[in-house]
Structure 1
Amino acid sequence: MSKPKGRHVKVRKDSETARETSDIITAIARLIRAVSVLLDALRGWF
């Protein structure tokens, strides 16, 4: 009985880690996009 329960907990933990990883990836993508937009704006000024 304890084996399936432990496996279920591990799966839930993995999904939480995957969610955190995807959040980090999204944040990095947004940061890169913001930097590229900023660089384009600076290029337009100079």
Structure 2
Amino acid sequence: MAGAVTGKLLLSLTLSLLEPAVQAIVFFFHEKAWQRRDRGHPAATPASMGA
């Protein structure tokens, strides 16, 4: 897809390799943020969910 947008092979290959790497890094920090947010909160149980 990047090749169709840019029209340049080298740029499209660079984007194709860079994008998954950036996603992996962002995913790591996203998960860390959720873990930090959930610290101290009890796990959801059927009793706590009103069941």
| TM-score of the alignment, normalized to the shorter chain, above 0.5 | yes
- Pairing 1:12–2:23 present: no
For residue 24 of structure 1, the aligned residue among 11, 23, 29 is: 29
TM-score of the aligned structures, taking structure 1 as reference length: 0.58
Greater share of residues in helix: 1
RMSD (Å) for aligned C-alpha atoms: 1.5
Identity of aligned residues (%): 3
Higher relative contact order (CA 8 A, sep 6+): 2
TM-score of the aligned structures, taking structure 2 as reference length: 0.53
Matched with 2:41 is 36
State the 4+ residue runs in structure 1 displaced beyond 2 angstroms.
3-6
Gap runs ≥5 in structure 1: 38-46
